[in-house]
Homo-oligomer: A and B are copies of this chain.
């Protein structure tokens, strides 16, 4: 593989996952409805990508009730923050190499 491409993290390949991580790097937490609105996603699309990031240990979620309504709150883990920063650095290196 081209050197700089090996630094890219497969877990962050999709725009949706870049978007989720991006929101959670800036905000300590975001709930499902907020992520869905900010990223303009369907429930299913957000659920499956959030689950993949959770399985990788990059985000954590907490399910709770707000009144009678279930609410899922997401946050980036330390591992996720570090991995995302490395991915961004690799992306930057790759983009600069293409110039």
Contacts and interface: CB of A to CB of B under 8 A. Distances in A.
Interface of A: 1-2, 5, 8, 10, 13-15, 18-19, 22-23, 25, 38-40, 88, 91-92, 94-95, 97-98
Interface of chain A: mostly helix, strand, loop or mixed: helix
Contact of A1 (B1, B15, B25): B15
Contacts of A91: 91, 94-95
A40 B92 contact: no
Given A1-B15, A10-B15, A88-B98, 8 more contacts: A2-B19, A2-B23, A5-B15, A5-B22, A8-B15, A13-B15, A22-B94, A92-B92
Contacts of A22: 2, 5, 94, 97-98
